[in-house]
Structure 1
Amino acid sequence: MKQSKSSLIAAIANHLNYDIYELELADVGSNSDLKWRLFAMPDQSILVIEDIDCTIMLQNRETENEERRTRKNQVTLSGLLNLIDGLWSCCTDERIIIFTTNRKEKLDPALVRPGRMDMVHMSYCTISAFKQLVFNYHGLCHQQLFEQIEGLIKEVKVTPAEVAREFMKSRDAQTSLQGLISFLLEKKTQQDYEPKTNTVYTKEEHPQEGGGGGEQELM
């Protein structure tokens, strides 16, 4: 889903006429270093921190004290939260911080609480997203190929960025839609042939009426 996230960030920056800056928290040595970097950002800018769930020390505040004993210089969750709140209170209209993650459930609740961070779920392309894209690129509200495309979108995992890329290949709506159908059919074939997880049951772990058991996943 990286393409969709990047496309959204680029669209926001283009709409607001803001500059984009990326920050790797792994390269930041301490909370003081992070403070200097955040407040050194120019106005009218977007700071992007990718894959926040993969950053050490930002998943659980309960481990901070223990980890701090072994690592004196590093960014902590409490340090990041204090800096975000301070930056927001003084520069709310001039700077935007965007975090990305594929595992929201791994983040500390304090980081994603309402009022501190607004969350946007970047799903695969939906029918409503497809209709908005086809209207934006070709000015169409309905076309005979829509029904087939909508059926495929329900079955195929495709990002809005991939759909937009197909629309950009031709200015002719019919050609563009037919190209999208071919692309979706190809992806559907690939997904149908992807290895699936098999499940077996053992009597000891998952007792059921007439036998059965707990499930084990075989990859």
Structure 2
Amino acid sequence: MKWNYVESEENKFNEVKRHYRLTFENKLREKQLDAPGRGYYGSPGGSWGSITLDHPSTFDTLAMDPSAKKKIIDDLERFLKRKEFYKRVGKAWKRGYLLYGPPGTGKSSLIAAMANYLKFDIFDLELSSVQNNGEFKRILLSTTNRSILVIEDIDCNAEVRDREAENQERNMSRGTVTLLGILNFIDGLWSSAGDERIIVFTTNHKEQLDPALLRPGRMDMHIHMSYCTSLGFRTLVSNYLGLDGLNHPLCEEIEKLVDSTEVTPAELAEELMQDDDIDVVLRGVISFIEKKKVERNNITT
């Protein structure tokens, strides 16, 4: 930690602004300021806007199967401890994750849980706001160590779905971010841009992404965000109703329904907020899932 004396340039009134700036390593932020993390969003011109990150999601509150959560936590812990390993094998200290699955399955909540667990900053980049590959590189090179770079819904960006030469040439002439630009950055500049970096892509349609983006070294771990399971529902009941699902007679029926149809954690969470009476809420959940099941059967028949 250190103090820096800063003297800015004179303004039009010939006044000089002077102040001190306190700086310290990002990993010591909580000890020094007892402050929440920071979130950043990419903006045109190669810069970031900053917001206070105070998302409450944790691995304890995440509606995922315990075995899936443990696998992710173990991978994050192993990543944090392997600085010397990465150096020894000649690889940048970075790791890539792909979160894929239907909307409403908790991809954003998982990213927030990862950031809270690691105490990392989040940089959220909207590709549609970036003009070209050059601006893309400038923005990403301005991220900090111990951070998570998030590029959500990458399947919605047609320019990064494939890397056919003619498409790349046409897209570069139009001044857009291309898959080739992303791959070059991850394999090249990104590799030398700092330590303890995590990059997370999310998609609703993994099958639409070019295999070049999915290989290890780019997306090292693929995490399927599935529809809710009975174990995930137990977490939701605990979160929203303060209830151990095993102790309520209606929960067993709901868990069987959840395992037999496709319903997202987001949909169930909304149903669990409909009333203050627990019995009324759980009966409403049963009706909702049964209706979803009928609708799905009608579609498939």
Q: Tell me which of 126, 135, 138 is aligned to 1:36.
A: 138
Residues in 1 aligned to 2:286 and 2:294: alpha-carbon distance in whole angstroms: 12
Q: 1:111: which partner in 2? A: 213
RMSD of aligned alpha carbons: 3.0
> Could you report, residue by residue, the CA deviation over 1:106-131 in whole angstroms, capped at 9, with x for unpaired residues?
11101011232121111110122223
- % same residue: 45
Q: Which has the higher contact order (CA 8 A, sep 6+)?
A: 2
Query: What letter corresponds to residue 169 of structure 2 in structure 1?
Result: R
Q: Given that residues 236 and 269 in structure 2 are in contact (C-alpha distance below 8 angstroms), is that contact kept between their aligned partners in structure 1?
A: yes
The structural deviation recorded for 1:68 is: 0.9
Q: 2:291: which partner in 1? A: 189
Q: 2:250: which partner in 1? A: 145
The structural deviation recorded for 1:70 is: 6.4
In structure 2, the gaps of 5 or more residues are 1-102
Query: What letter corresponds to residue 121 of structure 1 in structure 2?
Result: H
> Could you report, residue by residue, the CA deviation over 1:49-88 in whole angstroms, capped at 9, with x for unpaired residues?
1211121321122x23454146423222122112123425
Query: What letter corresponds to residue 64 of structure 1 in structure 2?
Result: A
The structural deviation recorded for 1:103 is: 1.1
Q: 1:130: which partner in 2? A: 233
Instruction: State how 1:49-198 maps to structure 2 within 5 Å.
Output: 49-61=151-163, 63-69=164-170, 71-72=172-173, 73-85=175-187, 86-88=189-191, 90-93=193-196, 95-117=197-219, 118-134=221-237, 138=242, 140=244, 142-143=246-247, 144-164=249-269, 175-176=277-278, 179-190=281-292, 192-193=294-295, 196=299
Residues in 2 aligned to 1:177 and 1:19: alpha-carbon distance in whole angstroms: 40
Aligned residue pairs: how many? 193
In structure 1, the gaps of 5 or more residues are 199-219
Residues in 2 aligned to 1:193 and 1:133: alpha-carbon distance in whole angstroms: 23
TM, length-normalised to structure 2: 0.54
Change (3 A) 1:181 1:4: farther
Residues in 1 aligned to 2:130 and 2:257: alpha-carbon distance in whole angstroms: 44
The structural deviation recorded for 1:151 is: 1.8
Residues in 2 aligned to 1:80 and 1:9: alpha-carbon distance in whole angstroms: 20
Change (3 A) 1:64 1:89: same
